[in-house]
Amino acid sequence: MTQHVRFYQTGSFAVGNRLLPAEARTVQSDPTRANSLTSGHRACRGCGEALGARYVLDAAMRATGGRLVTVNATGCLEVFSTPYPESSWRVPWLHSLFGNAPAVASGVAAALKARGRTDIRVLGQGGDGGTVDIGFGALSGMFERGDDVLFVCYDNQGYMNTGVQRSGATPPAARTSTTQAVGPAPGNVFGQGKSAPLIAMAHEIPYVATATIADLHDLESKVERAMGLHGARYLHVLVPCPLGWGSDAAQTVRIARLAVQSGLFPVFEAERGAVSAVSPIRHRVLVEEYLRPQARFRHLFEPERRADVIDGLQAIADRNIRRFGLLPGEQT
């Protein structure tokens, strides 16, 4: 695959695009940005989670005028940002455990309320493991009580920090270290896994959204939108992990875009349990184009092409496209 290069990338939302009017630029191209997660941290090259977290937090800082407190679950983001005695965080940041970040965030929110400090807002964050698996009870409790917290899940579709094991967010067929590419049905099982955003919606909380690091403006505006609301809010961000996905570090953003364009990762917003907006697919691609650049799906192409499995994944994408109306104007 070759990438079509555009000079100045006019009309795109690339970082630092100086041709865009100032208010339309991303936070990162603003020299006065918060820079909540500073450089020098130890994420892998091309880490989607580091990129996602930086955008989310800087946008949240901007939206709250810097009145922000953050809570972090155990996981790559926590580990690569705070190896003692260093810290990459320029925001108040608390890490407690792997499975309790939403509850800790609830506690922070309760404390601020009791202390009459409602000018300060709370943002919780964790990986997909910390969010959709081990922290799910705490997350659901936080949603159900309507605690004033935005919880952000950085979904890299596996337990990356511990060496790329399968999580409840790992897609079917993906190779992880606990769903290896061996045996007659290599990779992760079909028919398992869950959609945390849809379950979040079932709590009828004020705001649920998905986003990816392929569209940073969209990500930022969703964070800003979320911080403009009160109560429990949820943002699920797809963040490719070059190490776990076996993808080129320079292709992280492109792969996130292909996930969206294939329909495998629907980007939408929901209010009080109902979908209120979707990001339509502009250039649809087949799932195969998304799968090929990732070593975690290599067994679908080598030693021979597994059309049955690829079809199975295409069917999932097609269903997403129908379900969320990702291709408006197209009869499906």
Partner 1 sequence: MLSQIEGSRAVAETVGHCRPQVICAYPISPQTHIVEALSALVKSGRLTACEFVNVESEFAAMSVAIGASAAGARAYTATASQGLLYMAEALYNASGLGLPIVMTVANRAIGAPINIWNDHSDAMSQRDSGWIQLYAEDNQAAADLHVLAFRLAEELSTPVMVCMDGFVLTHAVEAVDVPSQAAVDRFLPAFQPRQVLDPDAPLTIGAMVGPEAFTEVRYLAHTNQLRALARLPELADQFAATFHRDLDALVSPYRCDDASTVVVALGSVLGTLKDTVDGMRTAGMPIGVLGLTAFRPFPAAAIKTAIGAAKRIVVLERAFAAGAGGIVSADLAPVLPADRELYTVVAGLGGRPVTRDSLRETLAAAFAGRLAPLTFLDLDERLLRAAEEVPS
Ligand X SMILES: Cc1ncc(C[n+]2csc(CCOP(=O)(O)OP(=O)(O)O)c2C)c(N)n1
Kindly tell me which residue out of 35, 36, 161, 247 binds ligand X, with binding defined by CB under 6 A: 161
Rounded to an integer, what is the distance from CA 210 to the centroid of its chain?
7
Cis amide prior to 85 (ω within 30 degrees): yes
Please state the closest distance from residue 240 (CB atom) to ligand X, in A.
11
Q: Specify whether the CB–CB gap between 152 and 237 falls below 8 A.
A: yes
CB atoms within 10 A of CB 119: 9
Count of chain residues binding ligand SF4 (CB under 6 A): 12
Among candidate residues 223, 181, 212, the one with its CA nearest the CA of residue 281: 212
- Main-chain phi, psi angles of 23, to 5 degrees: -70, -15
Kindly tell me which residue out of 14, 15, 44, 79 binds partner 1, with binding defined by CB under 8 A: 79
Kindly tell me which residue out of 26, 35, 49, 188 binds ligand SF4, with binding defined by CB under 6 A: 49
What is each CA distance from 182 to 116, 162, 174, 175, in whole angstroms? 57, 21, 11, 9
199 binds partner 1 (CB under 8 A): no
96-115: burial string, b at 16+ Cβ within 10 Å, e else:
bebbbbbbbbbbbbeebeee
Please state the closest distance from residue 256 (CB atom) to ligand SF4, in A.
13
- DSSP lists the bridge partners of residue 73 as none
Q: Which does 130 bind (CB under 5 to 8 A by kind): partner 1, ligand X, Mg ion, none?
A: ligand X
Q: Specify whether the CB–CB gap between 172 and 188 falls below 8 A.
A: yes
| Burial label, 304 (beta-carbon count in 10 A; 0-12, 13-18, 19+) | exposed
140 binds partner 1 (CB under 8 A): yes
Please state the closest distance from residue 52 (CB atom) to ligand X, in A.
10
126 binds ligand X (CB under 6 A): yes
Count of chain residues binding ligand X (CB under 6 A): 20
* Residues 141-160 close enough to bind ligand SF4 by CB under 6 A: 156, 160
Q: Which is nearer to ligand X, 75 or 186 (CB)?
A: 75
Kindly tell me which residue out of 26, 36, 74, 125 binds ligand X, with binding defined by CB under 6 A: 74
94 binds partner 1 (CB under 8 A): yes
Q: Which does 49 bind (CB under 5 to 8 A by kind): ligand X, Mg ion, partner 1, none?
A: ligand X
Using CA atoms, how far apart are residues 189 and 170, in angstroms rounded to an integer?
A: 9
Q: Which does 20 bind (CB under 5 to 8 A by kind): ligand SF4, ligand X, partner 1, none?
A: none
132 binds partner 1 (CB under 8 A): no
Using CA atoms, how far apart are residues 72 and 85, in angstroms rounded to an integer?
A: 18
Q: Specify whether the CB–CB gap between 132 and 153 falls below 8 A.
A: yes
For 139-155, give the DSSP string.
HHHHHHHT-S-EEEEEE
156 binds Mg ion (CB under 5 A): yes
127 binds Mg ion (CB under 5 A): yes
Q: Which is nearer to ligand SF4, 107 or 244 (CB)?
A: 244
128 binds Mg ion (CB under 5 A): yes
Kindly tell me which residue out of 41, 54, 62, 95 binds partner 1, with binding defined by CB under 8 A: 95
Contact residues for partner 1 (CB under 8 A)?
A: 66-69, 71-72, 78-79, 82-85, 87, 89-97, 99-100, 103-116, 120, 137-138, 140-141, 144-145, 147
